[in-house]
Structure 1
Amino acid sequence: MTIAYLFERFPSPTETFLAREVAALRQRNVSIEVYALDAGDGAQKIETPSPALKLGGKAKFFRVAGEKLGLQLQKRGVSHVHATWANHIADIAQHAAQSAGITWSFAAHARDLWVDGSDFSQKMKSAQFAFACTRAGESELQKHGENVLYVPHGLPLDNFPFETWEKERETRIIGVGRLVEKKGWMDLIAALGICQRLDNRGHTFRAQIIGDGPLRPLLQKQIGALGLQDSVVLRGALKAEEVVAAMQEANCFVLPSRRAADGDRDGLANVLLEAGALGLPLVTSDNDGARDFADESTAFLFPSADASALAGAINRVRTSPALTAERCCAARKRIEQHFDIAKNAGIVERAFASLI
């Protein structure tokens, strides 16, 4: 049985978790072919119709793209097509499956579920099953059908060696994520402005935010307005291995996610798991996605969009070393139990095997 995995872009620096899923399934001898609208190494291109067809509506464009892909999958002997997102990628997968006379499924994560996705009742009736990576996403999809599987993202833990946390005089803060509203970087910068006033008590900090996006000019301006230009840097986007190296040089990880004005919100951010696996103290907002992993035993939580509370959480990391070390160990243990890609890929494998 060969399964086609559909991507928007492959490989993608912001979707390493999906590449890990494919790799873990292949290690289990699952036959997978990767298809993408923007195809790089390791993927076959999804052929799309003329852009002029979009003038007739996106629905028609994606239908024709799916029909063209269906013919391609028939020739390749593909038995099942899986969309890695619940947005237009799922629309293409659905049309491809109908064209080829095969089964299909999709996964839902964050924006594709809360903002971009549509007509889930129809999708759930047509798909064999759907994967949700958070409990909140699972609950949302279950409003439209019962064939939902909870499959949390996982990590190849050998690539994330745990290091015991020890208190140091300087707090080296790192945040990783696109520079968009839902990531809450404006709240982190505001909180660091508060933390700066604590420096005269013997606590100093440096902070770096890795990622790029449309809010970069606004965030840079905020850094300057608060006089943080010597202690806070926006590093831009980095390769996955460079992000891990930067995390290993830090001693505090912050993810201040919030709900954006358009309804967009984080799922369980993979960088939160990566930082926790490495042994970094975790400071994160108490949001739906994070709750699958982060609580007061594994992280330092604060209410979303509350810069003062965020500053307080960072300060607790700096002033409560025994508690911080305890939560770092608890976070790693929970990741080993529930977020090991070698284990979680088994859920996906069994779902695909049930189709035979």
Structure 2
Amino acid sequence: MTGPRSDIGRIAVVVKGYPRLSETFIAQEILALEERGLPLDIWSLRHPTERVVHPMHERIRARPTYLPEYLYQEPLRVLRGLLWSLRQPGFRRLIRIFLQDLKRDPTPNRGRRLGQACVMARELPAGVRHLHVHYLHTPASVVRYAAILRGLAWSFSAHAKDIWTTPDWEKREKIAEAAWGVTCTAAGHAHLAMLAPPADPARVALAYHGLDLSRFPSPPQRPARDGSDPADPVRIVSVGRAVAKKGFDDLLNALAALPEDLNWRFAHIGGGEMLGALKRQAEAAGVAGKVAFLGAKAQPEVIALMREADVFVLPAKRARSGDQDGLPNVVMEAASQELAIVASDFAGIPEFVRDGREGVLVSPGDWEALANALNLIAREPARRAALGRAAHARLREAFSIDAGLDLIEARLRHSLGQMPLADGYREPAEATAP
């Protein structure tokens, strides 16, 4: 679905941090919506922490506006926002809702979101007619508060951590106030749909991120490595932040358990808080000489590594905090290169990879089963090739970017008053009440 550039208003897209290497799905969506003619502004709660960016970020026309990451860092800006907010018709309602939230969540973080919202509401250009936020936890709090002050409708895209670590009371109230929302896995959609107003089942919709295959090279031809040649070992790769939910500790246990007659090398791309601990684990397990931690990389380097690899592995699991993945884009990126996939039968992964058809799935946290799966697939190049072709076909046929983007574009254009919707969706009256 495409349309002309809007002359009647802009959309403020709010993110937790921008740009971020781990959030290619957000950059991909922003770029594609811009290319479809939607006028977007970017607002970020945090400044970037990484030195490199993806090529997609350089193509995005919208320039980010950064809110005060910590209120004490920009006291005059925060003070101006608060004084402006005191004079707005929606301020009483905002304070009532904020105090209710603070009573249930008495943390400094809650006060920070109020301050950021006051700054954002004051500084939003007059041409902004709708707010759309990625993540239903803290970013959505800022947007909810700012929308009340400005009398604007808002919508959300929920992804993974924000769904599974936010209290149900908070999700329920945000969904009720949002004009609409989308989420990117069937499991997440089922959960949020249960929290949506009973009279409005279309309030939250399922919209897979998909992948824009035009941005990726054609799959390469791979040599038939089987792990028997010490000079040409099987190449195993993984991509993801070094955090508990990615399961890289289980992966290192699995790699250490591989038979001695199997020749392999493993490369990891990604930063993260557990990187030091993983390096120490590799040393203790005696596999550090076969493991390379490459740090965060831009997408072209990620794809280049995948093209040289034989197996992609992602042993995702639920962290003790309750955090878990959705459907990681890196799984689909591996499929774009017909790379054989070994992953957990968990979260949104089996919605794309079906065990024995597009890849091999093992139970989350079961490093022994993971070791067995890696051992078998490393020795079977023909099977790897067949799984890779099947994953690429599924990506092309069922997980292209267009279906999800069509839905999001239609709802955004409706929110700008450009078009009606045909799916039974209606915008709730309370969404715009100051």
Normalised by the shorter chain, which TM-score bucket? Answer: over 0.9
Q: Partner of 1:245 in structure 2?
A: 304
> 1:141, 1:287 → 2: CA distance?
18
Q: What is the Cα deviation at residue 271 of structure 1?
A: 0.7
Task: State yes or no: 1:230 paired with 2:289.
Answer: yes
> Which letter does structure 2 place at the counterpart of 1:189?
L
Does 1:204 find its partner at 2:263? yes
Paired AA for residue 234 in structure 2: T
Deviation at 1:116, TM superposition (A): 4.1
Aligned CA distance change for structure 1 residues 337 and 300 (closer, same or farther; 3 Å): same
CA displacement at 1:338 relative to structure 2: 2.7
Pairwise CA distance, 1:306:
1.0
Q: Residues 102-251 of structure 1 correspond to what in structure 2 (within 5 A)?
A: 102-116=152-166, 119-145=170-196, 146=201, 147-160=203-216, 161-169=218-226, 170-195=233-258, 197-199=259-261, 203-251=262-310
1:17 aligned to 20, 25, 48, which one? Answer: 25
- What corresponds to 2:396 in structure 1? 336
Please give the alpha-carbon distance, in whole angstroms, between the structure 1 residues aligned to 2:286 and 2:278.
12
Instruction: Give the AA of the match of 1:309.
Output: A
Matched with 1:257 is 316
Paired amino acid for 2:23: E
C-alpha distance in structure 1 between counterparts of 2:134 and 2:280, whole Å: 36
Amino acid in the other structure paired with 2:67:
I
Once residues 30 and 217 of structure 1 are traced to their aligned partners in structure 2, the CA distance between those partners, rounded to angstroms, is: 42
Q: Secondary structure at the match of 1:155?
A: coil
Structure (1 or 2) with the larger CA radius of gyration: 2
- Give me the TM-score of the superposition, normalised by structure 1: 0.92
Supply the AA of the counterpart residue of 1:350: A
Q: Deviations over 1:38-70 (max 9, x none)?
A: 356821122567338999843333123213212
- Number of paired residues? 351
Question: In structure 2, what is the Cα distance between the partners aligned to 1:299 and 1:115?
Answer: 29
* Whole-angstrom CA distance in 2 between matches of 1:11 and 1:213: 16
- Residue identity (%): 31
| Partner in structure 1 of residue 141 of structure 2 | 91
Alpha-carbon separation, structure 2, partners of 1:9 and 1:278: 29
Gaps in structure 2 of 5+ consecutive residues: 1-8, 49-57, 79-101, 227-232, 418-434
CA positional deviation for 1:157 = 0.6
In the TM superposition, what is the alpha-carbon distance from 1:164 to its structure 2 partner? 4.6
Query: 250-259 or 42-51: which moved more?
Result: 42-51
Conserved? CA contact 2:156–2:181, under 8 Å: yes
Separation in structure 1 between the aligned mates of residue 26 and residue 134 of structure 2, nearest angstrom: 8
8 Å contact kept, 1:20–1:341: no
Query: Tell me, what secondary structure is at the counterpart of 1:189?
Result: helix
- Contact (CA 8 Å) 1:24, 1:342: kept in 2 or not? no
Pairing 1:37-52 to 2, within 5 Å after superposition = 37-39=45-47, 42-47=63-68, 50-51=71-72
Contact map agreement 1:87 1:117 (CA 8 A) in 2: no
TM-score by length of 2: 0.76
Alpha-carbon RMSD: 2.1
Q: Structure 1 pair 307/57, CA: closer, same or farther in 2 (3 Å)?
A: closer
- Counterpart Cα distance in 1 of 2:190 and 2:272: 30
Paired letter, 2:22:
T
Conserved in 2, the CA contact under 8 Å of 1:211 and 1:237? yes
Mean alpha-carbon deviation: is it higher for 273-282 or for 309-318? 309-318
- Separation in structure 1 between the aligned mates of residue 24 and residue 284 of structure 2, nearest angstrom: 35
4+ runs of 1 displaced by more than 4 Å?
A: 52-56
Q: Once the two structures are superposed, what CA deviation does each residue of 1:213-262 show, in whole Å capped at 9, x if it has no partner?
A: 22223222221122112211222222222212111111110001111111
1:166, CA displacement in angstroms?
A: 4.7
Stretch deviating more after TM superposition (181-190 or 331-340) = 331-340
Q: In the alignment, what sits opposite 2:422?
A: none
2-structure distance, mates of 1:328, 1:315: 17
Q: Aligned letter for 2:249?
A: M
- Whether the 8 Å CA contact 2:34–2:40 is kept in 1: the answer is yes
